[in-house]
Amino acid sequence: MRRIFSAVVFLTLGGCVSCQQKKAPSIVVVHVLRDPSSQLAEQMRRAELQFGLTKPHLSSGTGVMTAVNEGGSFAGLLQRFTDSPFDLVILNLQSDLPADATLREQLGTPVLVCGGHPAYIPSSVPGEKREAAEMYLRFLKSHC
């Protein structure tokens, strides 16, 4: 009788453990700011699609997506960068960067992508967001 009871308890517990709900996969979104009016825009859209098709993942297994702001007021968004920070900023030309010394310091050193366009990951971008932004930047360097 004990063996039957033990077997029933063991099977019931085993079944409960295997039926736990799996949590939804987490995703990190890289928020990109770029000028939609440039000749770079179409090339960047193709690169974004290609990046998404690779189903990118961080070292932790977290998925990566991009979200691009192509608003009509690129210069205005760039001026108010500290109010709504982005994870990656791509300029048409280095001279498009405002003269604001604080902003320049926060953006740091550019990486050239897509034919020499300067791209920045601000120093304020933390952890997994930084890893995802760096992954996307590497992709742009080699596939754009």
- Is 81 a domain residue? yes
Question: In sequence order, what are the beta bridge partners of 29?
Answer: 65
> Which structural domain, as residue segments, surrounds residue 139?
27-143
Q: pLDDT per position in the chain (144 positions), as tens?
A: 566 655 555 556 555 555 555 555 689 999 888 877 666 777 888 888 898 889 999 999 999 999 887 666 666 666 666 666 789 888 888 877 777 777 788 888 889 988 888 888 988 889 999 999 999 999 998 887
In a domain? residue 21: no
Confirm whether 59 is domain-assigned: yes
Tell me the pTM.
0.74
The reply to whether 68 falls in a domain is yes
Question: Helices marked H in 2-126 — which ranges?
Answer: 2-18, 40-53, 74-79, 101-107
Q: For residue 19, is it within any domain?
A: no
Q: Does a structural domain hold residue 80? A: yes
